[in-house]
Amino acid sequence: MVILVIGLCALYASPNLYGEDHAVQISAGRNAVVDAQLVERVKKELTQSNIESKSIVLENEQILVRVKDADTQLIAREKLGEALGENYYVAMNLAADTPRWLSALGGEPLKLGLDLRGGVHFLMEVDMKSALEKTIKDSDNDFRTALRTEDIRYRTVKQVEGGLEIYFRDQDTLEKAETFLKNRNRDFIFSEKADLVLFAAMSEQKLLETRDYAVKQNITIIRNRVNQLGVTEPIVQKQGPDRIVVQLPGIQDTAKAKEILNATATLEYREVDIEHDISDAIAGRIPPGSELLPDQNGVPQLLKKNIIVEGNHIIDATSGVDQNGMPKVSIKLDSKGGAKMLAFTKRAVGKPMAVVFIEYKATGERDEADKLIFEAKRTVISVARINGVFGNQFETTGLDSPKEAQNLALLLRAGALIAPIQIIEERTVGPSLGKENIKLGKEAIVAGFILVLAFMMVYYKKFGFVANIALALNLVMMIGIMSMIPGATLTLPGMAGIVLTVGMAVDANVLIFERIREEIAEGRSPQQAIHFGYDSAFSTILDANITTFIAGLILFAIGTGPIKGFSITLMIGIATSMFTAIIVTRTIVNAWWGGKRLTNLSI
């Protein structure tokens, strides 16, 4: 049992012994596929540029090209980036040099935290106030239109904190309006606030949805932009009700990263120009009032310059299936956008309409104020025939696949950013500091370890040697278990936790050995002393460790970032040290001294 547990931990700790390869990772952007063909293309590009690669592997829809050093990596990234164009993301990466059989078993080296690897961490907060305001504003317009169509006369509608106030001239109308609106808008709660004033507040459900939606929308957008940065293993996660954590390992130019993350994307509904011949336009005779824009496959489309509706009028876009089981995207506009759409579709039934997605991409150049210059990049993401007159709610059908529908919905949402975000915390660690931290951490662990080993050998002699074996195994087990837990990262405070555990792990053995000495002093035989020593020390060790574990658990529950890292190592260390210090040493002691007639003990 003991050997099995230790063997398993050692196996999973072993990937940490292998080094890391410099690598370039290629993943697909929108509408691109990574396949065997691309591997061939990459191979050809590399030979043309005289870049030697260690291996080129296609895995999880990504291509990993391993090269021999950092310089080659830089060149390879540049060349491949140029050759493959915008549809692919080419990023630099450090790929673990773990043997194939080990990674097949799920063995992976420890993930290093940002403080060790270098990189940038952002905590962003979604501006919920403006998200809610926008939702209320949309409802304002919506209510006005609805009441007017229903011929219910109101005096005015006011936007107030948390909802809308609708003023009426008489009680009858108010009641009529209340019944009508209650049935129509189930996501609002209506109440009579004062004489002739109806108050509409968003329901809890609606509030929750709005908040959730604002955060999700921002996450989608940030993910898209992070891809532009060419970072491997970025983290974009929701934290708490209105925050987003973004971690970009290995990024060096943080100013650039921030600008790209903060750039906006929008979209526009436009009319397709079918009055003019597109081949003429491609040949250079672009009719005035129209322009050529590429679609996602790079095929140009001739669109009118006039915008029907802009992206900021989009409230929601979701993908689903229509009654025939075909994929569709349902789009909801606010009332202003709905009115514009209605006016347009009235005169354009049967004509095609296009959606243009506008992204602002960094050109890599800077202006005088040292700001990155962004270039608007317009892409036609959908062209669809208008099948009837519609206003603020409509559907786009005729999509090829559910995946395409999902993509379109995602892009539509991304272009309709309703809640701005703000960076509230930022931490950057330069790569040199990261490397230094690793070096310092390792040195401290080794130094602390050797000091403790030496002390134990001198003080407890042969038993000290046994304790030292346990201590070494404890270190291996800690690293093994941390490598096994997905998502666990090693940070500098985590390393400090390891050092601290090394110092404290001997405690259990000290307790046991002191007990054995006491028993011997009381005149017991060595065998009995060992037996009693282990037995009576056990409950003490358990109590002492459980209380420390409680402290670790609370640290983990309440702390963030570096504190979490520290508490994880502390807790793992407590668990493994109890195993090694009690069970492992007992096994060794039994094997060494067990069943022998002893007159004295080397303790």
Footprint on residues 497-516 left by other proteins (CB under 8 A) = 499-500, 502-504, 506-507, 510-511, 514
- The CA distance from 22 to 92, in Å, is 8
Exactly one of 31, 559, 575, 593 binds other proteins (CB under 8 A); that residue is 559
DSSP code of residue 313: G
Burial classification of residue 274, based on how many CB atoms lie within 10 Å of its CB (0-12 exposed, 13-18 middle, 19 or more buried): exposed
Q: For residue 217, which of 147, 316, 289, 111 has the smallest C-alpha distance?
A: 316
DSSP code of residue 109: P
Is there binding between residue 170 and other proteins (CB under 8 A)? no
Q: For residue 421, which of 161, 162, 163, 122 has the smallest C-alpha distance?
A: 122
By CB under 8 A, what part of segment 318-377 binds other proteins? Answer: 370
By CB under 8 A, what part of segment 14-43 binds other proteins? Answer: none
Closest separation in Å from C-beta 359 to other proteins: 22
Q: Which stretch binds other proteins (CB under 8 A): 3-11, 347-355, 397-405, 528-536?
A: 528-536
Exactly one of 175, 535, 591, 594 binds other proteins (CB under 8 A); that residue is 535
Is there binding between residue 458 and other proteins (CB under 8 A)? yes
| Interface characters, 251-280, with other proteins (x: CB under 8 A) | ---xx--x----------------------
Checking DSSP bridges between strand 314-321 and strand 290-294, what pairing results, if any?
A: unpaired
Residue 114: partners with Cβ closer than 8 Å, 6 or more residues away? 120, 121, 247, 249, 427, 429, 434, 491
- The CA distance from 301 to 298, in Å, is 9
Is there binding between residue 563 and other proteins (CB under 8 A)? yes
The tokens for 338 are 């709905």
Is there binding between residue 428 and other proteins (CB under 8 A)? yes
Burial classification of residue 300, based on how many CB atoms lie within 10 Å of its CB (0-12 exposed, 13-18 middle, 19 or more buried): middle
Burial classification of residue 367, based on how many CB atoms lie within 10 Å of its CB (0-12 exposed, 13-18 middle, 19 or more buried): exposed
Question: Which secondary-structure segment (H or E) carries 54?
Answer: strand 53-59
Is there binding between residue 522 and other proteins (CB under 8 A)? no
- Which residue, 349 or 554, is less far from other proteins as judged by CB? 554
Catalogue the E-assigned strands of 261-351.
Answer: 266-272, 290-294, 300-310, 314-321, 327-333
Residues of 123-152 as b/e, b for ≥16 C-beta within 10 angstroms? Answer: bbbbbbeebbebbbbbbbbbbbbbbeeeeb
Exactly one of 98, 437, 468, 489 binds other proteins (CB under 8 A); that residue is 437
Is there binding between residue 469 and other proteins (CB under 8 A)? no
Exactly one of 88, 199, 360, 534 binds other proteins (CB under 8 A); that residue is 534
Size of the site for other proteins (CB under 8 A): 77
Exactly one of 1, 521, 596, 597 binds other proteins (CB under 8 A); that residue is 521
By CB under 8 A, what part of segment 539-558 binds other proteins? Answer: 539-540, 542-548, 550-552, 554-555, 558
Closest separation in Å from C-beta 569 to other proteins: 11
Is there binding between residue 436 and other proteins (CB under 8 A)? yes
- Which residue, 166 or 246, is less far from other proteins as judged by CB? 246
Closest separation in Å from C-beta 488 to other proteins: 17
Is there binding between residue 234 and other proteins (CB under 8 A)? no
Exactly one of 94, 496, 516, 581 binds other proteins (CB under 8 A); that residue is 496
| Interface characters, 85-124, with other proteins (x: CB under 8 A) | ------------------------------x-------x-
- The CA distance from 211 to 217, in Å, is 10
Three-state SS annotation for 463-518: HHHHHHHHHHHHHHHHHHHHHHCCCCEECHHHHHHHHHHHHHHHHHHHHHHHHHHH
- The CA distance from 23 to 317, in Å, is 38
Closest separation in Å from C-beta 465 to other proteins: 14
Is there binding between residue 533 and other proteins (CB under 8 A)? no
Exactly one of 18, 374, 538, 593 binds other proteins (CB under 8 A); that residue is 538
Q: Which stretch binds other proteins (CB under 8 A): 127-135, 148-156, 293-301, 433-441?
A: 433-441
φ/ψ region of 31 (left if φ > 0, alpha if ψ in -120 to 50, else beta) reads: left
Is there binding between residue 11 and other proteins (CB under 8 A)? no
- The CA distance from 476 to 355, in Å, is 57
**Cα end-to-end distance, the chain, whole Å:** 27
- Which residue, 392 or 509, is less far from other proteins as judged by CB? 509
- Which residue, 107 or 573, is less far from other proteins as judged by CB? 573
Is there binding between residue 426 and other proteins (CB under 8 A)? yes
Is there binding between residue 451 and other proteins (CB under 8 A)? yes
Q: How many CB atoms lie within 10 A of CB 40?
A: 11
